[in-house]
Amino acid sequence: MQIKLPTLDGALVDYRLTGTPLQPVKPAAPFNRIAYSAAHVVADPLRSGELGQPCAIDWDRTIEYRRYLLEQGLGIAEAMDTAQRGMGLSWDSAKELIVRTLNETRDIPGALIASGCGTDHLPVSEARSCDDVIRAYLTQIETVQRAGGQIILMASRALGQVARDASDYIRVYREVLSACDRPVILHWLGDAFDPELAGYWGYADFENAARVCLEVIAGNEAKVDGIKISLLDDTKEIAFRRRLPESVKMYTGDDFNYPGLIAGDAFGYSHALLGIFDAIAPAASQALSALAANDPARYDELLAPTVPLSRHIFRTPTQYYKTGVVFLAYLNGFQPHFFMLGGHHGMRPPAYLAEVFRLADQANLLKEPELAMSRMRAVMATLGCAE
C-alpha cells in the first residue's frame, strides 16, 4: 500500500507501508513499574460551539478509550494536559470527566486512576495572593476526594504569577498537601509544555528550582506518593531521582527518553506518567510485560521504534503535541473524526501529520493499515496535499 505524503521542503513523496501492526493484549502478569497514560478526550464536533464557548465532549468514546487503556494494564492519569486541561478543557468539564471516569471504570479489576487537581478555574489575572491559590487548589481537591479519587497535584499558573519567592511555594504546597487525605503525585511541568510555568518553584535555573521542590517533598514526605517531572531532559530527571527520599517515587514525564528512564540503572528507575502512552499503548503495555518478565531485549525491541514517533509528536512547540496524539487516535479508528477542543486540530501543519503517519507505521502502531491509509488520504486531500 502506497501513498503520496508531503515533506517539510514542500514536496509530495511516495511512502509505502512497512509495519506489522501490534494488537492490544491483556497482560498475563502485573508490571513491575507503575504506568499511567495521560489520556486525551474525544471532542463532539456536532455539538461544538465557537472558540471560547463551553467544550463539547463525546463522552461515550472518551470513556471507551480509557477502558481500552486500562484493559492493557495501563493506569489513567485523568484530566491532565493531554486532555487539553487549560487549553480547551475547562475545570467544569474536567470535573465531569474525572467523576465519569471513576464511576464508569469501577468494573475493571485493578483499574488505576489518578486525577489532575490544579487551579485553572481561577483566572491568572484574578489571582491576587497565595491565599487565592490555596483556596483554588482546595476546591478541586475536595471534588476529587469526594469522588474517591487519587490526586495528581498539578502546577499552578496562578501560583507562578503571585509567588514572590521560593518561600511562597513552600507555604502553598504545605497548606494544600495538609488537606489531602492520602499521598499525592506532584507534577513539575516544564515550560516546554506550558510557557506560562517558566520560573516555577521561584527560580529559572534547574538546580535552584530542584532544591525548592525537594524541600517541599522533604517537608511533606508522608503526603507525597511521588513526583512526575516533565522537563524532557533525562540527566536532570536522573539527578533529581537520586535525591528523592526512599519512600517517594519518580514518575517520568519525559516523552523523549522514557525507555531508558523506565528501565533504570544500578541506582534506581522511574515509573511512568506519560502522554505518549496514549498513542503507543500496545507497545508500552507489551514492553512493560517484557520488562517484568526480565526480557530487556524484547522491551527495547518494542519501545525503541516508538521514540522517533514520540520525539516528533512532542517536538517544539511542545504544547501542541496533543494534535499528534489525537490524529493517531483518528487514524486508528478510535474516533470518527479529526476534530479537537479549541481548534487544536489546526495547530500542526500537514507535513507534521504526514510524519506522524510514517513514524507510527514504522513503530507498528497503525492498528488497521487500510483504514489508516484511507483516512490519511482524506485528510491530506482536505489540506491540499493530495495528487
CA distance 375 to 331: 6
Grid cell for residue 65: 478509550
pLDDT of residue 339: 96
pLDDT of residue 190: 92
In the predicted structure, residue 3 carries a pLDDT above the cut 90: yes
Q: Tell me whether strands 12-16 and 2-6 are parallel, antiparallel or unpaired.
A: antiparallel
pLDDT of residue 387: 67
Tens-digit pLDDT profile for residues 8-35: 888 999 999 999 999 999 999 999 999 9
pLDDT of residue 9: 86
Grid cell for residue 37: 497514560
pLDDT of residue 249: 98
pLDDT of residue 8: 83
Residue 372's nearest CA partner among 338, 330, 322 is: 330
CA distance 277 to 282: 9
Tens-digit pLDDT profile for residues 138-195: 999 999 999 999 999 999 999 999 999 999 999 999 999 999 999 999 999 999 999 9
Helix, strand, coil % in the chain, rounded to nearest 5: 45, 15, 40
Residue 361: HSE in the Cβ half-sphere, 13 Å Cα cutoff: 20
In the predicted structure, residue 265 carries a pLDDT above the cut 90: yes
CATH of 25-304, picked from 2.70.170.10, 3.30.470.10, 3.90.550.10, 3.20.20.70, is 3.20.20.70
Tens-digit pLDDT profile for residues 321-377: 999 999 999 999 999 999 999 999 999 999 999 999 999 999 999 999 999 999 999
